[in-house]
Amino acid sequence: MHENEISQLILNSAFKVHTQLGPGLLESSYQECLFYELRKSGLFVEKEKAQPLIYDEVKLDIGYRIDLFVENKVVVEIKSVESLNDVHLAQVLTYLKLSKSKLGLLLNFNVKSLKYGIKRVANGI
Domain enclosing residue 65, as ranges: 3-122
Predicted confidence (pLDDT) at residue 125 exceeds the cutoff of 60 = no
The span from the CA of 8 to the CA of 62, in Å, is: 31
Residues 17-74 have pLDDT tens digits of 999 999 999 999 999 999 999 999 999 999 999 998 888 888 888 889 999 999 999 9
The span from the CA of 62 to the CA of 55, in Å, is: 11
The span from the CA of 71 to the CA of 60, in Å, is: 24
Domains of the chain: total: 1
CATH number of the domain bearing residue 114 = 3.40.1350
pLDDT of residue 9: 98
Q: Which of these, 4, 12, 17, 5, lies nearest to 111 by C-alpha position? A: 17
